[in-house]
Amino acid sequence: MFEKSIHLEGVDPLEFLGINNNKLDKIRAYFPKLKLVSRGSMLKAMGDEDEIIRFESKMNALLDQYHEFHKLSLETIGMIMNDQLETSSLSAEHSDVLVFGNNGKPIRARTPNQRKLVEACEKNDLIFAVGPAGTGKTYTAIAMAVRALKNREIRKIILSRPAVEAGERLGFLPGDLKEKIDPYLQPLYDALEDMIPPKKLEDFMKDKVIEIAPLAFMRGRTLSNAYVILDEAQNTTINQLKMFLTRMGLNTKIIVTGDITQIDLPRKSDSGLIQAMHILKHIEDIAIIQLNQNDIVRHKLVREIVKAYDAYQDKRDAELEEKRKKKVD
């Protein structure tokens, strides 16, 4: 009698094996000559060698399906067991999908400028993605990072943002350091939780395959074999952003996202993001993607809110310019 153990690490047992093991029972029905035993994250098969080879092949196909779409239905199990799943047609149908989120939700670039961001990520090592709130710049960047991790193009994902304005003054907040920092990093957690099953995300973060840290924690490091995303970069100082950009190591992509209309620094001219885009715009392998109101994919009111604030700011700038001209005259 031969034995084969299949490791199910990073797999949600309820989703993969089913309620009361109903999906495992369906798998068993296709291998009546094998004894299948499920214990924790291990599935053991015992029986004839040829059957075990066939079982391993089918299980690998099921695991590939699960890791691709983060779900596994009874119908899909049957199609894979009967060689009825046309993977080539599936690939064509989902050719523009960046990753499949939880429950199999496809995550793709939804606007022309989001697609430009995806293309820029594929061709360049440093990308600045700038635009108003709700344009999906950070979400798209994280999806690209998750795809690269899944495809084993990189070894880790590092997500960062300035914790509180530019000085990252956390002392007034209650709790330990993690409790002080987490509220400012929550948007990054939210995006990851959309794209990676909870158990797998927990394992990734425990093993530091995915790391979320405030900008101050980047000092002195060399970031290699990674996708590194700096969010809210408009609130970095000139020296902070220079420090961050010079962390880049081998086989690393850096995406810097921000909204230059929401700078919280005492003076807007101190924003490292504005200066970096000006200084670095002519360097090869650096791309600058500008997103705008038409890329907003949140609630329809967000677009109207951004338009209203932009119109107000334009009017205010015009009035200040008019006053300045009168003083000169």
Predicted local confidence at residue 92, as pLDDT = 45
pLDDT digits (tens, 9 = 90+) for 267-320: 877 899 999 999 998 999 999 999 988 888 777 787 788 788 878 888 887 878
Domain boundary among 90, 123, 155: 90
Residue finishing a domain among 90, 113, 133: 90
Residue 314 domain-assigned?
A: no
Report how many domains make up the chain: 2
Percent above pLDDT 70 for the chain: 89
Boundary of a domain, candidates 36, 65, 90:
90
**Residue 187, domain member (yes or no):** yes
Residue 181 has a pLDDT of 66
Q: Do 146 and 198 share a domain, yes or no? A: yes
Which CATH number does the domain housing residue 28 bear? 3.30.1370.10
* Residue 88 in this model has a pLDDT that exceeds 70: no
In terms of domains, do 14 and 135 share one? no
Q: What is the pLDDT of residue 167?
A: 44
Let me know whether 144 and 286 are in one domain. Answer: yes
Give residue-wise pLDDT tens across range 9-68. Answer: 667 777 888 888 899 999 999 999 899 988 877 888 998 888 888 888 888 888 878 877
Q: Which residues contact 132 (CB under 8 A, 6 or more apart)?
A: 259, 261, 291, 292, 293, 296, 306, 310
- CA dist., res. 170 & res. 164, Å (int): 7
Place of tokens 């939780």: 193
Q: Are strands 252-258 and 156-161 parallel, antiparallel or unpaired?
A: unpaired
Please state, in angstroms and rounded to a whole number, the distance separating the CA atoms of residues 48 and 44: 13
Range of the domain at 273: 100-298
Assign residue 237 the CATH number of its domain: 3.40.50.300
Q: Is residue 205 part of a domain?
A: yes
> What's the predicted TM-score (pTM) here?
0.68
Between 106 and 286, whose confidence is greater?
A: 286
Residues 74 and 131 grouped into a single domain:
no
